[in-house]
Homo-oligomer: A and B are copies of this chain.
């Protein structure tokens, strides 16, 4: 079981509501994923006619919404968005995303730390989306973040775990859960993140744009379980020289 702040999760696959071609597809995929934490962007329209209405059955079933501050370009905007979300969705959890650059949507380390500190002080459970920067992750932990969410690759790229060297250091040093976010494009990527010792992964695009989002959700759920199980079972390292898995048959000489 994974614990973040006051909640425990039996599923280590976190998901999102973006990019699905239609709402029913989203709902079915989220249900199939078994995910208990689902991030969603807050838009004005949500205030009246919210995506989370359609999510009500899932929420009744134990799924938690994680509002994110996507679109915020500064700490100030992000803090404001988090406050609105708290009011609208009745949750003090927030996925902190600050990306001034509209092309690659990469997170701003300075504004993210500033907002994280302010939000933690206000009692938010802050999960910041950041570059796979070990020093920054440490500092976010120190200002009170409940977890850190370093990226695997640029968001939406499906490129997988391109930051492995740095994720390994982050995982080694962290005292809060590490959730690999962004870039995970296939179940093998999710499994790898878990094998490295990540506490959870967040997958959205790869499910939403799959040929069959429901089946892809299930595939990711299995991969996350698999990677965690392998991490706990103890993976052997890589070796240079071959070691036969079949003992060399001596029977020919001996026969």
Contacts and interface: CB of A to CB of B under 8 A. Distances in A.
A189 to B, nearest CB: 8
Contacts of A68: 246
Interface string A117-141: 0000000000000010111101100
Interface in A70-115: 70-72, 77, 80-81, 84, 97, 99-110, 113
> Is the interface on chain A under 10, 10 to 19, 20 to 34, or 35 or more residues?
35 or more
A252 B219 contact: no
A120 to B, nearest CB: 16
Given A191-B191, A212-B234, A251-B81, A18 B245 contact: yes
A210 B222 contact: no
B251 A43 contact: yes
A185 interface: yes
Contacts of A155: 242-245
Interface stretch (A3-11, A56-64, A225-233): A225-233
Copies held by the complex: 4
Contact of A138 (B42, B101, B131, B242): B101
Contacts of A135: 99-101, 106-109, 131
Contact of A219 (B18, B185, B230, B237): B230
A120 B147 CA distance: 34
Interface of A: 16-19, 39-44, 46-47, 68-72, 77, 80-81, 84, 97, 99-110, 113, 131, 133-136, 138-139, 153-159, 162-166, 169, 173, 185-189, 191-192, 195, 204-206, 208-213, 215-216, 218-220, 222-223, 225-227, 229-230, 232-252, 254-255
